[in-house]
């Protein structure tokens, strides 16, 4: 057993000013609980705020909260409206997010990124094969139509097989490394929580910590696994689609750049509506389940108070919330799909109108004296396949661009939760249960004594829960701590 000696009172944010010591003397233990006498007169708020002690307390609280010297009512208003700083606003760096990734994890992630990019590139590249089919079927560029079509079909089969293999590899790679890294985050987070002192638990509700650990590590896992792979795939799809459109039909691609936000916005709205309504439905069902658990756990109390009907009404109300969320999902998903497909059709109509005008200009300029033109000779600068690639390359690229946002959101959420965990891991409590330093006692008699202990909780820095506390507990004796609510009984035990 080890303990650290203290020569006098010291001020900390969450621990006693005088540490508990183990000594060899004996004596009685006394605890007195003082309570303020109750006033029998009616006191107005103005009289309370006009009291000199109350004003001093408000001024001290104002200084602690960094509000400056203001009037009494202004100070009360500021204290009531004071917002605690949110530590979740800090974002962890990408390096910190992947700090628990091993060399094998990084290698698997690299392979997953390559395979995800390959799958994303496959969709716009398939438009090139469709364009080849169109060019072959026109019968003006190739003599052996059947042979050329067979070549395109074989290319389709090869691309499909590659996409299937690459899709399986990238999905498995991101999931596996996500599981491994999340497990390491969970282990280090739990170790850090168990190391904290009682002051830390005053500002972090212990009953919420299990769900907080699960939620935070799950957000990190989503940000470094599946969502990251989907974002890589959609990004590759967008870049490849835009590049192909500009290579094959650059002037029409320049025209369609103005319309790209339409399919991108439709894709973004569709996934946003799906995700948000899923959260609303999940919350509603969770509340309904909470009502059931609470009612069944306190069945006798509910029955004695004749609250069965009220519990049923609360349960039905939460189910109605879920139903309304599902109805909203249907309405907004229908609207989002309308925007997505309507904008796509609008892009196609604009593109084909421009392509028709452009092709007619080329054909007219290529007319010879004998009445032939480039369409008859098969030497036009613009062919049907190029038009197809230009139109659908921009459309597919725009849709891929709109689907990148969920991945960015997931990574941002992962960085936010990672920052919270890192702050907890890096926090070193003043009383560190895992520390190997301090004085090691050769003999322990089992008698405990507190000397002049001053203690205040981080959430109430202006209130001393223990103010010069003295307590001596002999070995083998039983001591009862008696006092009013808030007198420090639980604090002494902790």
179-197 confidence digits (pLDDT tens): 999 999 999 999 988 888 8
What per-residue confidence (pLDDT) applies to 5?
38
What per-residue confidence (pLDDT) applies to 38?
41
Any idea which residue has 């002999």 for tokens?
474
Any idea which residue has 């960094």 for tokens?
66
pTM above 0.75, yes or no: no
* CA–CA distance, 482 with 494 (Å, rounded to integer): 15
CA–CA distance from 237 to each of 127, 129, 234, 240, 247 (Å)? 12, 16, 5, 5, 15
* CA–CA distance, 175 with 112 (Å, rounded to integer): 10
Query: What confidence tens digit (pLDDT) does each residue in 281-309 have?
Result: 777 777 777 777 778 777 888 788 887 88
Query: What confidence tens digit (pLDDT) does each residue in 88-122 have?
Result: 468 888 899 999 999 999 999 999 999 999 999 99
What per-residue confidence (pLDDT) applies to 172?
93
CA–CA distance from 144 to each of 136, 141, 147, 435 (Å)? 9, 9, 5, 82
């Amino acid at each position: 057993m080890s303990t650290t000696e203290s020569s006098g009172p010291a001020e900390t944010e969450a621990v006693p000013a005088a540490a508990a010591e183990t000594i060899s003397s004996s004596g009685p233990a006394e605890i007195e609980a003082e309570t303020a006498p109750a006033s029998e007169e009616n006191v107005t708020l103005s009289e309370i705020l006009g009291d000199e002690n109350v004003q001093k307390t408000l001024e001290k609280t104002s200084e602690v909260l960094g509000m400056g010297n203001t009037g009494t009512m202004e100070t009360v208003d500021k204290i009531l409206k004071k917002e605690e700083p949110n530590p979740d606003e800090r974002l962890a760096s990408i390096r910190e997010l992947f700090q628990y990734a091993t060399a094998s994890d990084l290698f698997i992630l690299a392979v997953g990124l390559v395979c995800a990019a390959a799958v994303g590139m496959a969709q716009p590249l398939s438009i090139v094969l469709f364009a080849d089919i169109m060019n072959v079927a026109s019968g003006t560029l190739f003599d052996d139509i059947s042979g050329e079509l067979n070549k395109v079909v074989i290319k389709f089969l090869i691309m499909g097989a590659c996409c299937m293999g690459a899709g399986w590899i990238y999905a498995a790679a991101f999931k596996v490394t996500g599981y491994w890294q999340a497990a390491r985050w969970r282990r280090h987070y739990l170790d850090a929580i168990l190391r904290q002192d009682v002051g830390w638990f005053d500002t972090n509700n212990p009953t919420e910590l299990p769900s907080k650990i699960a939620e935070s590590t799950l957000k990190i896992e989503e940000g470094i696994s599946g969502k990251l792979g989907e974002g890589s795939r959609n990004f590759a799809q967008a870049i490849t689609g835009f590049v192909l459109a500009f290579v094959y039909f650059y002037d029409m691609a320049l025209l369609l750049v103005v319309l790209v936000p339409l399919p991108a916005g439709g894709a973004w709205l569709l996934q946003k509506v799906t995700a948000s309504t899923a959260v609303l439905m999940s919350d509603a069902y969770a509340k309904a389940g909470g009502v059931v658990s609470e009612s069944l756990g306190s069945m006798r109390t509910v029955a004695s108070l004749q609250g069965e009907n009220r519990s049923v009404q609360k349960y039905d109300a939460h189910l109605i919330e879920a139903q309304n969320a599902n109805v909203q999902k249907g309405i907004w998903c229908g609207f989002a799909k309308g925007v997505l497909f309507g904008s796509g059709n609008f892009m196609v109509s604009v593109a084909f109108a421009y392509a028709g005008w452009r092709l007619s200009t080329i054909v007219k300029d290529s007319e010879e004296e004998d009445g032939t033109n480039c369409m008859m000779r098969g030497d036009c600068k613009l062919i049907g396949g190029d038009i197809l690639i230009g139109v659908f390359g921009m459309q597919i690229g725009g849709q891929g661009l709109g689907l990148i946002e969920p991945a960015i959101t997931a990574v941002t959420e992962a960085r936010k939760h990672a920052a919270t965990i890192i702050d907890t891991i890096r926090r070193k409590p003043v009383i560190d249960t895992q520390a190997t330093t301090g004085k090691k006692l050769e003999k322990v008699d089992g008698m405990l004594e507190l000397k002049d202990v001053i203690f205040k909780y981080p959430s109430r820095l202006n209130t001393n829960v223990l103010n010069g506390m003295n307590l001596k507990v002999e070995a083998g004796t039983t001591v009862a701590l008696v006092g009013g609510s808030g007198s420090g009984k639980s604090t002494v035990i902790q």
